[in-house]
Chains A and B, each alone.
Chain A
Amino acid sequence: MRSRWIVGGGEYLDLVYHAWKQASREEDVQKIEIVQGEDYEFDFSIFKQLSPDNGDVFIAVDDRFGNFKRMELFRAALERGFVMASHISASADVAKDVGIGKNVFIGPRAVINHGCKVEYNSVIHAGVQLGANSHLRSSVWIEPGVQIGSGVKVGAHAIIRTGAIVHSNIKIGKAAELGWPQIYSADVADKTVYDIRYDEPIYVYNH
């Protein structure tokens, strides 16, 4: 029996592990926790025990460090020859022509309409609605219940948190974080962060 190694950490690792376990009857699904050291760096030695000949991996790291930590592990697995299939929940409603990259997670009851594109290493949690012809670039993180209109472009590494509603035909810049529960009806510049703990958005200049 081939293995399915779910590599990552925290609550998201648990969530992905159970999702794969429920979906895969012919695979030996295993959870592998990878720890970050005091300097926040990963210990990649974990990959020494895994071989693409015996199984495949799925990288399950949350949005920490702007999704860059998930990206780092994704790259490490790619370099080691792993295929990294995506996981689409059986209850998700994904249109036939939707393009989905490697290591994408699509949670239960997510609705992804026709013409959408979801690039590699992105996470779409339960109940997210994505309107037609929207395009998510790589390594984005969309929290449960987020509603995104049609024709929306979401930049790489962007984070959209529960409570956000994104109007049709707008552009969310790369590494932007939409954390205020509100309607976003205008383009959001790259790296602009709406964090609920702050009184004003956080802006980055000269990046």
Chain B
Amino acid sequence: MQSRMLPKYYLSQEIFDREQAKIFRKVWLFAGLSSLVSENNAFITRKIAGIPVVIQNFKGELKAFENVCLHRSAPLQQGFCGRRALVCPYHAWSYDENGSIKHIPDCDALYRFSDAEKQSLKLREFGLKQVGTLLFINLSDDPMPLEAQFSPKFIELLTDSSNQYDTEVMVTTWHAKFNWKLVYENLRDLNHVRYIHPKSLGQALKFQKHESDIFVDEAADPLADLSPQGLRTEMRRFSHAGAEDAEYAQSRQYAWMSMVEPWQGVHGYYNWLAYPNLHIASGTGGYSFSIENHIPVSPGETDVEIYYFTAKKKQAYATSHQVLLTHMHYSKKVVGEDIAILEAVQSTLHHHASIPRQGAYETQNRLVERWYTTLMETDHEI
């Protein structure tokens, strides 16, 4: 079967802009962890779909605003996270929990704003939702309900597991040279594991694909319901949680495992894939977790932001950060193997490249591609 994915979907700036507008500025996107903004005045800054965003704690209430001062467009907060009131460093304009002006120094003497003008000044605010300890942001003026994007079961699994996350978090970002969609095509294709990760992940986990998992090629026909509701319902199928039929080859115990309370009810490799750009995995049966957030930068560039943490610690212990660093280095090896092959794939692409040929096992990717190309090639919206 021929894929619907033409080279332009990975190469064209015009398609990239359309994706940003029709997907990334419409859906709920991962924006961080509530543990990073748990105290008054704590903040995190992000650039999401090209828009600088600040998520700020106002006496326990979390709000998301465009991170740009209304006076001279300076960023209100700087750095990945920190603790500081929402005050512009440039001329000290400060803002309240509604994004309205709290104070402008020497306002009457220097600016001479009328009361009406001052009251009209308001930061652009974005939808923000907390799912367990995960923060999701929506850049749309009229955000869809979170439940339109994720099924109740998926939300429940995210909530339950993330409530078990420890607050000590290790974070870094890798700058990869590929289109963000290649990552998710790769994550939905477990057949690559034994070839790309023979000495790392392939050793620890044996992914099995059963005949019964290979469904009829539903994606052969065009999408039936092109209404926003229909397109959202279809999109909801792309986010799922589960054990991926992975057979855990070993159940090695390490000293640190006795220091944490694992998330219950999982064995081996469990993962959550939240469309479009969030992948959470636990390769240790709920004892530790990784979050990969793939941030599209340009058609050929993606920032891979990676978070590592264990399940909640029973009590603090001196080597906990080293446990996280060991995980990080292991994952650098595994994800590094993925990044290497995906960068190689991206490097072969050109506008007249041949169209990928898919097999029966690639049903999930075919469903996503049908939906994605419909969105890109028509005026239908979600």
Residues of A within 8 A of B (CB): 38-41, 65-66, 68, 175, 191, 193, 195, 197-207
- The reply to whether B319 and A193 contact each other, CB–CB distance below 8 Å, is no
B329 / chain A contacts, CB cutoff of 8 Å: 195, 197
Known A-B contacts A202-B328, A204-B169; A191 and B319 likewise in contact (beta carbons under 8 Å): no
Smallest beta-carbon distance A40→chain B, Å: 7
Count A-B contacts at CB 8 Å: 67
Count of chain B residues with Cβ under 8 Å from any Cβ of A? Answer: 29
- The reply to whether B168 and A205 contact each other, CB–CB distance below 8 Å, is yes
Task: Report B226-267 CB contacts with A as 1/0, cut-off 8 Å.
Answer: 000000000000000000000000001111000000000000
Is B183 at the interface (CB under 8 A from chain A)?
A: no
Interface residues of B in 305-342 (CB under 8 A from A): 318-322, 324-326, 328-329, 332, 336
Smallest beta-carbon distance B162→chain A, Å: 15
In the bound complex, how far is the Cα of B324 from the Cα of A73, in angstroms?
22
- The reply to whether A203 and B174 contact each other, CB–CB distance below 8 Å, is no
Show 5 A/B contacts (Cβ-Cβ < 8 Å), sorted by A.
A39-B253, A65-B326, A66-B321, A175-B321, A207-B320
In the bound complex, how far is the Cα of B325 from the Cα of A205, in angstroms?
13
Of the candidates A199, A200, A201, A207, the one whose C-beta lies within 8 Å of that of B321 is A207
A201 / chain B contacts, CB cutoff of 8 Å: 172
**Top 9 nearest A-B pairs by Cβ distance?**
A202-B172, A206-B167, A66-B322, A200-B173, A199-B175, A191-B321, A204-B170, A205-B169, A204-B321
- The reply to whether B252 and A193 contact each other, CB–CB distance below 8 Å, is no
Is B94 at the interface (CB under 8 A from chain A)?
A: no
Is B113 at the interface (CB under 8 A from chain A)?
A: no
A193 / chain B contacts, CB cutoff of 8 Å: 325
A68 / chain B contacts, CB cutoff of 8 Å: 318-319, 322
- The reply to whether A203 and B168 contact each other, CB–CB distance below 8 Å, is no
Closest Cβ neighbor of B318 among chain A residues: A68
Of the candidates A39, A200, A205, the one whose C-beta lies within 8 Å of that of B255 is A39
- The reply to whether B172 and A205 contact each other, CB–CB distance below 8 Å, is no
